[in-house]
Chains A and B, each alone.
Chain A
């Protein structure tokens, strides 16, 4: 695949700061954390903003009412200070093509997009399921669509987050390019049009099964498992 565009100035659709706060708080599921960390990798001020959010955690830790430690807690910990360090796992080997993905996603996948097992989702569309869990039956998956493809009108029970990794798509809310996230809430039916010129790869987090509006799309729904 060609290099992902990672010019932060092109990111015009950012996730709301409540996602940054929840990421800093450790209140997100693994799938949500991965999407948020990958999105943040496209922003040039992410480290700074995350530092602000984490400072809230630090301030709250100072104000929390302290709990009693065991009487010998300090002595026990002091006795362990000179213990040999546990072996740290070797960093994951770099895979060809993997360096094009933002670090959090690359490390989590342990490879690049071409190493994934893509399967049929619809005409001109492939998907790969990455993770399922958290509250509200969350599913993290990737979409790979050919230029000019229309993703049929669909909705979900809860929140849908779509992060563009490569290429772009458009819908009534605008044009979404690499680094941009579209957040759609509760059951709002929407369709996406992949822009011409380049394939589009997205990281998506959805809650509950996809519901398609049209009957042909609904008929294949049981087979795609999303």
Chain B
């Protein structure tokens, strides 16, 4: 999938775009529907998200994120902007604080493709109680307090499950170093 985005960035490859659209547009729409967006708006926004993918393909860095992660972030930001009508304060990548201290190794982009697959595997291997809160958080955008209410568990339990899930994901990345 990363190669398709690269093809769009390098030579405006419409066939690559069509393949990417076929895979991601229905998933982005499904994500937006779970975020309680109505059918018609979800359809429009999914198309808009894919248009953004076309326009911003040059900014995609396969060393930093998988195609799915990059598109998830675009869809999430679009949702916050259009549906919630809120500003999402972003970390500034130009902020010197966020520039990595050491130069990155040459095989970084290979590691990045592995990261996508490993994180994917780690997510599916999460214990069901952790997987449940992660899904409610990412796919329904529920605040911690709403997850606690939905599952009828204490707020502290929601938080500790999310922390544990993050720890497992982080361990995957530590392994690659």
Judge whether A55 and B165 touch: CB under 8 Å: no
B36 to chain A, nearest CB (A): 13
* Interface SS majority for chain A: helix
4 other A-B residue contacts (CB within 8 Å) besides A61-B68, A61-B69:
A17-B166, A17-B167, A33-B88, A37-B90
- In the assembled complex, which residues on chain B have CB atoms less than 8 Å from the CB atom of A102? 95, 97
**Interface SS majority for chain B:** helix
Once A61-B68, A78-B14, A85-B55 are accepted as A-B contacts, the answer to whether A135 and B146 lie under 8 Å apart by CB is yes
Q: How many angstroms between the C-alpha atoms of A74 and B69 in the bound complex? A: 22
Tell me, rounded to whole Å, the shortest Cβ–Cβ distance linking B43 to chain A: 6
Q: Mark B90-105, 1 if CB is under 8 A from A, else 0.
A: 1111110110110000
- Most chain-A Cβ atoms within 10 A of its Cβ — which of B42, B70, B134? B134
A26→B80 contact, CB < 8 A:
yes
**A58 pairs with B65, CB closer than 8 A:** yes
Q: Are A26 and B91 in contact (CB under 8 A)?
A: no
Say whether B27 contacts A64, CB under 8 Å.
yes
- For chain B, the count of residues having a C-beta within 8 Å of the partner chain is 81
- Closest-by-CB residue of A relative to B101 is A44
B137 touches A67 (CB 8 A): no
Task: Return the chain A residue nearest B156 by Cβ.
Answer: A185
Which of A45-53, A112-120, A188-196, A213-221 makes up part of the contact surface? A45-53
Please, what's the 1-or-0 string for B133-163, where 1 marks a CB less than 8 Å from any CB in chain A?
0110111011111100000000000111011
Summed over the interface, the residue pairs from A and B with CB atoms below 8 Å come to a total of: 221
In angstroms, how far is the closest chain B Cβ from the Cβ of A142? 15
Q: Bound state CA distance, A60 and B71, in angstroms?
A: 12
Q: Which of B118-137 contact A (CB under 8 A)?
A: 119-120, 122-124, 134-135, 137
Q: Does B9 contact A (CB under 8 A)?
A: no
The interface stretch among A103-111, A143-151, A160-168 is A103-111
Whether B5 sits at the interface, judged by CB under 8 Å, is no
Give the A-binding residues of B (Cβ under 8 A).
14, 17-18, 21-22, 24-31, 33-34, 42-43, 46-47, 50-51, 54-55, 64-73, 75-77, 79-80, 86-95, 97-98, 100-101, 115-116, 119-120, 122-124, 134-135, 137-139, 141-146, 158-160, 162-163, 165-167, 169-170, 173
Indicate if A100 sits at the interface (CB-CB under 8 A).
no
Q: Which residues of B sit under 8 angstroms from A96, Cβ to Cβ?
A: none
Residues of B within 8 A of A22 (CB): 137, 143-144, 162
CB distance from A177 to the nearest CB of B (A): 16
Chain A residue at smallest Cβ distance from B120:
A59
B73-A54 in contact (CB<8A): yes
Contact yes or no, B27 A61, CB < 8 A: yes
Given A54-B73, A61-B72, verify A77-B134 contact (CB < 8 Å).
no
B78, closest chain A residue (CB): A26
- A40-B137 in contact (CB<8A): no
- Would A73 and B170 count as touching, CB distance under 8 A? no
Asked if A222 CB lies within 8 Å of chain B CBs, one says no
In the bound complex, CA of A103 to CA of B94 (Å): 9
Interface centre among A29, A40, A53 (most CB of B within 10 A): A53
Which chain A residues in 64-114 approach chain B with CB under 8 Å? Answer: 64-70, 73-74, 76-78, 80-81, 85, 102-105, 107-108
Most buried by B among A17, A61, A64: A61
Contact B27 A52 (CB under 8 A): no
Contact partners of B138 in chain A: CB under 8 A:
24-25, 27, 56-57, 60
Residue of A nearest to B95 (CB): A103
Which of A34, A66, A85 interacts with B30 by CB under 8 Å? Answer: A66
Contact of A28 among B27, B69, B72, B143 (CB under 8 A): B143
In the complex the two chains form, is A47's CB within 8 Å of B100's CB? yes
